[in-house]
Each structure stands twice: as structure tokens, then as C-alpha cells.
Amino acid sequence: MKTEVWDARIDYDAGPGVREVIAAIGRTEDVKLSPDNRRLVILDYFAKKIFLFSIRIANGLSSPGVTLSDYSILSSTALKEPHGVAFVDNDHIIVCNRTADVCVFRLPVPGEHPRERTVTPLASIKGKGFLSAKVLSPGSVDCYKTAEDCYRFLICNNRWNAVTSHTIRLGDSIRIRNEGILLEERLRIPDGI
């Protein structure tokens, strides 16, 4: 029996500036689309940056048409080996840092000037400290809405061999509640959720 191999790459449209930014991205641990499919986030693990793109996806007969039209590059002293990312809503993301905290950031509009900027987390979950850490070696994260402006997110903790549950409430101030360990038994180095 002969196996046929297809070129499964999807071409995308982008200007030279956007293509240069994409070419500069290093080791990538996670990529996510916003809930409205208009923003794309890519984490650069070693450069400790968040790359944010405006994206348009149009369904075609044979493959989708993808256009990346603008970008922003975000840096933060809180980014330490960023590994997992999830959109809370279209304007906020959660980033898991392998060697630090889990951070919540508000996103600028892609292309808003300055395009490269330093950001500060709006809230975080402590990832260091033997007795005080609420997460340990956080990796993958996923998030879903539970009520108006309220979301639950689950985090894979590699060194604890556990998945922890947390809630976040958006508003004038962001509040995070740690709900504790959701899954632990028979897990070994969970790295996808």
C-alpha cells in the first residue's frame, strides 16, 4: 500500500513588516486565536515575548484564506520561559511561565503605537516559594466562561503532576481565586489541556 504525502501548509497574506516579525520569532510553545478569531497570540519562549497579530480567516473552497495585517510585540519582566497561553476574552490573556508566575495581561490593539512595548501583569498567581506557590512549573492553560465577566481556567503543573483550577473575575479590578487541585491521581508531567 502506497502512502500519499500532501503539502499541508496554508499560505497566508502579510506585508513585509509582519513577515519580518514572524521570521524573528524563536522557540514557540503555544499559539492561540482569540474567541472572535481576530487576534492571534504567539509566545516566544527564549526571547520572553508575546507576539500579537491581527488576523482574518476566510473560508475558501479548498483551504482557508488567512491574512495577518498588523502586529504588536509585548515584553515584560514577568515573562520567564512563557509556555502556555489562553484568551480569557478578546482583550485579556493568561500566560503560564515555566519558571515563574501565571500572569494576566490586557492586550493592546495590534498595531497600536508603539508597536513594541513593555507591559505589566494586571494580576498573577504565585509560582515560586516552597509553601506559598499556588502553581509549580505551570505549562498549558485553558479557559472558559462560567458567568458574565467570570471565567475558570485550568493549569497543568508539571512538577506537581497535577491540574489546578482557578477563577478570574474581570471588571474595574481583576480578582483571581485559587480553587486547588482538580486532577492529580495517575497524572505524570501533564502538558496539554
Whether 5 is in a domain gets the answer no
Whether 2 is in a domain gets the answer no
Q: Which residues contact 168 (CB under 8 A, 6 or more apart)?
A: 88, 94, 104, 123, 143, 150, 151, 153, 174, 175, 176, 177
Q: Which residues contact 23 (CB under 8 A, 6 or more apart)?
A: none
Q: What is the CA radius of gyration of the chain?
A: 18
Is-contact 154 146, C-beta < 8 A? Answer: no
Number of compact structural domains in the chain:
1
pLDDT over 70 at 47, yes or no: yes
Whether 168 is in a domain gets the answer yes
Q: What is the pTM of this model?
A: 0.88
Is-contact 19 11, C-beta < 8 A? Answer: no
Model pLDDT for residues 55-68, shown as the tens digit of each residue: 999 987 777 889 99
Whether 51 is in a domain gets the answer yes
Whether 48 is in a domain gets the answer yes
Whether 4 is in a domain gets the answer no
CATH assignment of the domain containing 64? 2.130.10.10
Whether 177 is in a domain gets the answer yes
Model pLDDT for residues 169-191, shown as the tens digit of each residue: 998 889 998 888 887 777 767 67
Domain span at residue 26 reads: 12-183
